[in-house]
Amino acid sequence: MGLSKKGWNNVLIFACMGMIIMFNLMNDKLVDNAEGQVVPILPEQSMILTLQYPNYAIERLGTSWRVNPGDKLPTDEAAPLIQAWGELTGEVSLATSEEEGYRVTLWLAGQEHPTKLWIQPQEGLITDIIAQKTWRLMPAQLAQIDKG
């Protein structure tokens, strides 16, 4: 049983519509991987509840911050550090490095699981361990958050 000319036209129309829908759904995935694009590291308007470095953690207490243990970071440095993380942007990078680094874990409001980042200060790279996204930071930005 063969299709008529009208039938084949309908098949082509639906195939084209399917491709358009597929490309529209994939658009966000394709744009996120554009190397060289400067994007925020954390989701926009995200609220940091806990910021955990290897030697200490900063926790939100109402409108202020508590550092555990307090001898690793002065309490007055906690708020500027949290603000620097909230404003952090990086250039999307496909680079990899064998440099040693350290892990920073961020608990954000509204997220079930923490964001785990691997920081490589010498290379200026920060990698989302779970999402496998890497960003290159400017030296001034890295100096603001490199408190590990």
pLDDT on residue 29: 61
Q: Which bin fits 67, alpha (ψ -120 to 50), beta or left (φ > 0)?
A: beta
Q: How far apart are the C-alpha atoms of 145 and 80, rounded to whole Å?
A: 9
Residues of the chain with pLDDT under 50: none
Nearest one of 105, 128, 114 to 41, comparing CA atoms: 128
> Model pTM?
0.72
Of 60, 69, 115, the C-alpha closest to 88 is 115
Residues of 98-128 as b/e, b for ≥16 C-beta within 10 angstroms?
eeebeebebbbeeeeeebebebbbebbbbbe
pLDDT at 1: 62
Give the model's pLDDT for residue 13. 94
Domain assignments of the chain as residue spans, ordered by start: 1-32, 34-145
Q: What is the pLDDT of residue 82?
A: 92
Distance separating alpha carbons of residues 120 and 75, to the nearest angstrom? 25
Confidence (pLDDT) at 33:
54
Rounded to 5°, the CA angle 108-59-64 comes to 105
Q: How many residues does this entry show for the chain?
A: 148
pLDDT for position 106: 95
- The amino acid at residue 82 is I
